[in-house]
Amino acid sequence: MHCLYPFIHERIKAKGCENSLNLYPNLELLSVPSYVVDEKKSMPINAKAWNSSELNYKRMDEYLGIKMTTKEIKDIKEGLEVFKEDIKNKNISIVSGTSYFLNYSNNYKNKKYIRNYPNNVFERPVNHWLSIYGIENNNLLVYDPIPNDYIGEISKEDFILFWEGDRKISELSSFPGVERL
């Protein structure tokens, strides 16, 4: 399941609406039945079920009528102000980074993360997503539903390392595609 679905689910619930999280994958054909292809006897399939834009489908937020915006933030000070404003206005701040610096993750400073990189279903560098729902003292309160099922705090220092992403990990900095994260 795509890691953004739980955040959208929470946003819809917060608006007082009923919601069926299990139906979201249908919006992007993620629930297409799985099958095995014998590559020696079959033609390759060029469209990826995970990439609905290749199939000319609407984005999930368009189907659900949710306004999603992207903000470019230049530094942590500005970021904290944006997060505080979003929290005050009951908006969800979803941020991306690396699970390598999340102290509750199995990837936390785990050399296996580096050795097996990129260790994901996309077989390319991708960011991990989490939501910020509060800021207390030097900690950020986060919701990280997939795969960690974590609700709690992380230190501002760990958050900064998370937010800088895999491109700031010296062993990964030259990996193809990591510079885009």
At residue 180, what is the residue type? R
Cα pseudo-dihedral 106, 111, 114, 115, rounded to 10: -110
CA separation for the pair 153, 141 (Å, rounded): 4
From first to last of the 181 residues of the chain, give the pLDDT tens digit. Answer: 456 666 666 766 776 777 666 565 555 555 554 444 555 555 454 445 555 566 666 666 676 666 777 788 888 899 999 999 999 988 888 888 888 899 999 989 999 988 888 766 556 677 888 889 999 989 999 998 877 789 999 999 999 999 988 888 888 878 887 777 6
144 backbone φψ class: left, alpha, beta (φ>0; ψ -120 to 50): beta
DSSP for residue 21: G
**C-alpha dist (Å) from residue 30 to 21, 53, 60, 149, 175:** 13, 13, 12, 21, 28
Helices 156-164 and 76-88: angle between axes, nearest 10 degrees: 110
